[in-house]
Structure 1
Amino acid sequence: MTRTLHSGSRSGSGGRALYVFAVCRDLDPGIPGRSSGLPGGEPVRALPLGAHLSAVVQTVRADDFTDDVWQERLTDQEELERYARAHHAVVTAAAGGAPTVPLPMATLYHGDESARAALASQVARFDRALDRVAHHAEWGVKVFLSPSAGPGAASREETAATPPDRARPAAGSGLAYLNRRRNIQENRQRRHVEAGLRADAVDEAFRRVATEARRLRLRSAPSGDQGVQVLNATYLVAEARSAELHRLAESLREPGDVRVALSGPWVPYSFVGEVEG
């Protein structure tokens, strides 16, 4: 999570600051008030930026966002998650009623006028991002291969192929051992290629439904998870094509060693990166 400071730094003076969650187009002013917002803050509200744009904001205690306090919060996982959930809840509520560009967590200004001046100077950038995500949602797709089919299977074969003792091998066993190692290496390479091809095929299929797509870094499976991740991607999909997206995901969930996990819909955080608070 990042903290964005504007209009100079603040010390713990007991004053107030303006926290900005998102910028929306044609936002119903009543929608922000449906979210409770951050702990200890005033009611969440809309701050008009012009004819069609509004920021979703909340007046908060400046003391809660000094450099020292925020750095301490970053080390407290429970407290950080509490703020992250509150931030996400407000953004999600806004996105449920209008095209929305989320801003980074802890984007702060001294007050309404400084926020309005800074955000209004980026109207063109907000408009481009809003044009892109309007009537769209973000969907995540992860593809897993079963352990027997994944690239890690080769390491288990290698362990099994290595003699448990280091006794002197019988005549001719050296060649057999080298052949086993070569076969293991070839199997490992084949599995890596097959995993890449399967991931590419799934990604290509989802890209045909999506407006935009991004492939993310692969993540190691948590302990006890059955499967090797070969695709971690996110897709910007028009609302009108969400049923098509679900049908595609179901068609790829055929019995076998491939598992496709679809998650969403989410606010399209991954596709508004050009806009900052």
Structure 2
Amino acid sequence: MTERGPEGSDTLATYVFAVCRGVDPAAFTGLPGVGREELRALPLGTLTAVVQSVDAADFTDQAWQGRLSDQRELERYARAHHEVVSATAACCPTVPLPLSTLYLDDERARQSLTEEAERFHTVLRRIAHHAEWGVKVYAPEEAADDTVATAPLAATPSERTRPSPGAGLAYLDRKRGIQQRRERHRDEALRIADAVDTEVRVLATAFRRLRPQALQPTGQRPVQVLNATYLVADHRADDLALLTRTLRERTGVRIELSGPWVPYSFVGEV
């Protein structure tokens, strides 16, 4: 639970980045975090929280709502939060907490987080020696087909304002044919996406299929037919890279592999 601090400008609150096991404070030493104080480890029995004392006035509901409307400022906080989580995860199993997880003080943070200790232990067992990888598949571009424009006009000057006999039916037939080819192209792209997902899942401990990202405003980006994320054991990372290359060659479609990432997508399901 996130508790907003009081309005007083001199009051400090405890910001929590992550909960982990066996952290070496040197992993995050020197990182700025989201405040002016140094990052530190807060013991939680057999677990440890990575925390920072911050000005409570910077994290009131009003201050945070203002930050949400400033994209640049929001990105700065998100990057700083992610940097601390990533540095911690690089040295030990880590459960990242959401951006702006705040408590009134260390004791309140310790009490609340300790109540979730069993869940944290379960998540840490699940993600230990694993990383999150993203796989995106794009449909191949369709061949340009400009055979359908308008129904052809009669050749004689007196008849140029009206279609020749049968032209309307031929026009509709060609248009219907193009639509059918587009549907077959889409269905084939979705079939390839499902096949890629099925093969990658074999290497994964867990997976999530996300909503495909929409076209850019320019409309030039290929259509995305698979946007998925996978929890993969570290020792299978090379297998995943090899499989991705093999699938690209076999299908001929654009497949993007990204990672390894801190497994944000797989810590809230337990």
TM-score after normalising by structure 1: 0.88
- RMSD of aligned C-alpha atoms? 2.1
In 1, Cα distance between the equivalents of 2:262 and 2:175? 49
Change (3 A) 1:68 1:97: same
In 2, Cα distance between the equivalents of 1:68 and 1:162? 56
| Aligned-residue offset at 1:31 | 2.2
**Structure 1 residue 123 and structure 2 residue 117: aligned?**
yes
Tell me the residue number matched to 1:262: 257
Match of 2:198 among 189, 196, 204: 204
Question: What whole-Å deviation, never above 9, does each CA across 1:209-234 have from its counterpart, x for those lacking one?
Answer: 11111111111243375522111111
In 2, Cα distance between the equivalents of 1:137 and 1:164? 57
- Runs of 4+ in structure 1 displaced over 4 angstroms? 164-167
Question: What whole-Å deviation, never above 9, does each CA across 1:9-63 have from its counterpart, x for those lacking one?
Answer: 522443001000010012223323242211x421111111012x10010000111
| Aligned-residue offset at 1:66 | 1.1
Tell me the residue number matched to 2:32: 36
Tell me the residue number matched to 2:85: 91
Change (3 A) 1:226 1:185: same
| Aligned-residue offset at 1:129 | 1.0
Tell me the residue number matched to 1:62: 56
Change (3 A) 1:201 1:33: same
Residue 147 of structure 1 contacts residue 226 of structure 1 at CA under 8 Å; is this kept in 2?
A: no
SS at match of 2:165: coil
Report the count of equivalent residues: 262
Tell me the residue number matched to 2:130: 136
The answer to which of 219-228 and 22-31 deviates more is 219-228
**Structure 1 residue 234 and structure 2 residue 225: aligned?**
no
Which segments of 5 or more consecutive residues in structure 1 lack a partner in the other structure?
A: 150-155
Residue 34 of structure 1 contacts residue 93 of structure 1 at CA under 8 Å; is this kept in 2?
A: no
Change (3 A) 1:173 1:21: same
Residue 18 of structure 1 contacts residue 109 of structure 1 at CA under 8 Å; is this kept in 2?
A: yes
Residue 146 of structure 1 contacts residue 226 of structure 1 at CA under 8 Å; is this kept in 2?
A: no
In 2, Cα distance between the equivalents of 1:252 and 1:69? 48
SS at match of 1:171: coil
**Structure 1 residue 75 and structure 2 residue 90: aligned?**
no
Change (3 A) 1:228 1:191: same
Change (3 A) 1:60 1:163: same
TM-score after normalising by structure 2: 0.90
Question: What whole-Å deviation, never above 9, does each CA across 1:215-274 have from its counterpart, x for those lacking one?
Answer: 111112433755221111111000010110111111122287511111100000000114
| Aligned-residue offset at 1:130 | 0.9
Change (3 A) 1:165 1:68: farther
In 1, Cα distance between the equivalents of 2:140 and 2:30? 44
| Aligned-residue offset at 1:161 | 1.2
In 2, Cα distance between the equivalents of 1:122 and 1:41? 28
In 2, Cα distance between the equivalents of 1:177 and 1:225? 28
SS at match of 1:254: helix
SS at match of 1:36: coil
Residue 135 of structure 2 contacts residue 258 of structure 2 at CA under 8 Å; is this kept in 1?
A: yes
SS at match of 1:217: coil
Larger Rg: 2
Percentage identity across aligned positions? 55
The answer to which of 11-20 and 99-108 deviates more is 11-20
Question: What whole-Å deviation, never above 9, does each CA across 1:156-181 have from its counterpart, x for those lacking one?
Answer: 64x75131899422101122122112
**Structure 1 residue 161 and structure 2 residue 148: aligned?**
yes
In 1, Cα distance between the equivalents of 2:151 and 2:171? 13
Tell me the residue number matched to 1:25: 21
Residue 40 of structure 2 contacts residue 50 of structure 2 at CA under 8 Å; is this kept in 1?
A: yes
